[in-house]
Structure 1
Amino acid sequence: MAILTRAGRTLFAQTIAQTPIYLAWGRGETPWQSPPAEPIVATELAAPIGFRKARKVAFCYPDDQGDIHIQGGRFSLSEQPTQHVYCEFTFDFADGVGETVRELGLMSGTQQLADLPAGLSYLLPEQVASPGTLLLLEHRAPLVREEGVRESFEFVVSF
């Protein structure tokens, strides 16, 4: 039986880290009292609100004393490529104000429409030429977007 080696996993991580990475947030299909299970066959969010470009993309490694705290573990940043990619997102005060966020999707390769100014870090669904590939999907308890709050999210994708 063949295995995917650590070097192979690191190569996948390097490839993903070189693509534009965005965090899409959405309303979900319908309001739910508790988040439903995420389907492994999902390819997009049910009702996207917007896409925020990653503020930081870096490699990391598991470390019980690490500064990166995510659900399920702690990590430290690495100068060298690893099989773990750290992504940090901070939405601005006005992003999605008044919306109820029930789903998050980590997207690799998101592309904005060609006629938009270069360098936009927040895109509305109608400004997206291609949402990219959905790497991670999280259904969550409802989060009501308020104007005075900058929402931040961190993820570690392990290959």
Structure 2
Amino acid sequence: MAILTRAGRTMLAQTIAQTPIYLAWGRGESQWQTPPAEPIAATSLAAPIGYRKAKKVGFCYPDAQGDIFIQGGRFSLSSEPTQHIYCEFTFDFIDGAGETVRELGLMSGLQANAQLPNGLVYLTPDQVADPGTLMLLEHRAPLIREQGVRESFEFVVSF
């Protein structure tokens, strides 16, 4: 059986890190009493609210003493490409205010509508021409968006 080498995984990570990466958040389904299992065949969120462009994208490596602490491990940033991509997102105070967030999705290659000005970092679903590829999906306990809070999320995607 063939394997995907570390060099091949690093090449995939480099390719994806060069695309626009956004964090989509969505309402999910209101009947979800507990977060359901994420379907591996999912291609989109059930009910997107908006998309926030990554504040920071970089490479990282597993490190028990690392400053990046996510569920599942600790990592440190790397100046060299690795098979691990670190993504940091910070939503603004008004992004999705009043909404209930039950799902998160990491999107690669999102394209905004052509008539929008360049430089927008938060988009609503009607401003998106193509949401790109859903790389990661997380169903979560409901998070009520309050206008006075800037939500932050960190993810490490490993290849």
Shared fold per TM-score greater than 0.5: yes
1:124 Cα shift? 0.2
Aligned to 1:93: 93
Letter of the 1:139 counterpart: H
1:33 Cα shift? 1.7
Aligned to 1:51: 51
Matching of residue 5 in structure 1 with residue 5 in structure 2: yes
Aligned to 2:75: 75
**Structure 1 outlier segments of 4+, above 6 Å:** none
Q: Which runs of no fewer than 5 residues in structure 1 stay unpaired? A: none
1:36 Cα shift? 0.3
- Aligned to 2:9, what secondary structure does the other structure show? helix
* Superposition pairs of residues 1-159 of structure 1, within 5 angstroms: 1-159=1-159
Once the two structures are superposed, residues 80-125 of structure 1 have per-residue CA deviations (whole angstroms, 9 ceiling, x without a partner) of 0000000000000000000000000000000100000001000000
1:29 Cα shift? 2.4
Letter of the 2:66 counterpart: G
Separation in 2, partners of 1:2, 1:86? 27
Identity of aligned residues (%): 82
Once the two structures are superposed, residues 126-146 of structure 1 have per-residue CA deviations (whole angstroms, 9 ceiling, x without a partner) of 000000000000000000000
Once the two structures are superposed, residues 31-79 of structure 1 have per-residue CA deviations (whole angstroms, 9 ceiling, x without a partner) of 3221000000000000000000000000000000000000000000000
Give TM-score, length-normalised by structure 2: 0.99
- Aligned to 1:51, what secondary structure does the other structure show? strand
Separation in 2, partners of 1:51, 1:133? 13
Separation in 1, partners of 2:96, 2:2? 46
Q: What is the root-mean-square deviation of aligned Cα atoms in Å?
A: 0.5
Letter of the 1:158 counterpart: S
1:30 Cα shift? 2.8
Q: Which runs of no fewer than 5 residues in structure 2 stay unpaired? A: none
